[in-house]
């Protein structure tokens, strides 16, 4: 059984992406319901939805609902998953830079005007 979806993530300070593989348990027209356990996916091949849910809850396996067309969570290929990881990390860096510039402006304002005027300005609202 081959994985159908992939998700790349970076944990902590490490720069190595971790790849999570998802296997389809059952499908609807819009969504694939997947898990990351190959063993559970193999056991669920000939079961119906109710039996699949019972089996997954018995073994504490989380069923992930993945959109077939526009999934932001998992991608259909390893390359697409890594590209999406790079996109998410670039977006995260942009937000950090934006927040850093706001913090620098606020600190410059506090240094220029003093803490007391800033406190009075924010408490008068």
Model's pTM, two decimal places?
0.74
Give the domain extent around 19.
Answer: 5-123
Burial class of residue 13 (count of CB atoms within 10 Å of its CB; 0-12, 13-18, 19+): exposed
Q: What is the pLDDT of residue 116?
A: 76
Structural tokens at position 108: 């410059």
Q: What is the pLDDT of residue 125?
A: 57
| For the chain, the helix, strand and coil percentages under 3-state DSSP, each to the nearest 5 | 50, 20, 30
Q: What is the pLDDT of residue 124?
A: 63
Strand order, beta sheet including 5-9? 5-9, 18-27, 31-35, 64-67
Number of separate domains in the chain: 1
User: pLDDT tens string for the chain (125 positions)?
Assistant: 778 999 999 887 777 889 999 999 999 999 999 999 999 999 998 898 999 999 999 999 999 999 988 888 899 999 999 999 999 999 999 999 999 999 999 888 888 887 777 777 777 65
Burial class of residue 14 (count of CB atoms within 10 Å of its CB; 0-12, 13-18, 19+): exposed
- Strands, E, within the chain: which ranges? 5-9, 18-27, 31-35, 64-67
C-alpha to C-alpha distances, 28 to 11, 14, 34, 61, 118, nearest whole angstrom: 32, 37, 12, 20, 56
């Amino acid at each position: 059984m081959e994985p159908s979806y992939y998700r790349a993530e970076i944990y902590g300070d490490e720069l190595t992406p971790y790849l999570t593989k998802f296997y389809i348990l059952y499908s609807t027209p819009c969504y694939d319901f997947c898990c990351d356990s190959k063993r559970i996916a193999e056991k669920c091949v000939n079961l119906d939805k109710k039996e699949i849910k019972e089996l997954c809850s018995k073994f504490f396996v989380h069923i992930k609902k993945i959109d077939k067309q526009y999934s932001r969570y998992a991608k259909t290929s390893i390359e697409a998953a890594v590209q999406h990881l790079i996109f998410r990390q670039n977006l995260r860096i942009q937000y950090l830079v934006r927040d850093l510039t706001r913090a620098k402006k606020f600190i410059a304002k506090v240094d220029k005007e003093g803490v007391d005027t800033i406190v009075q300005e924010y408490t008068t609202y």
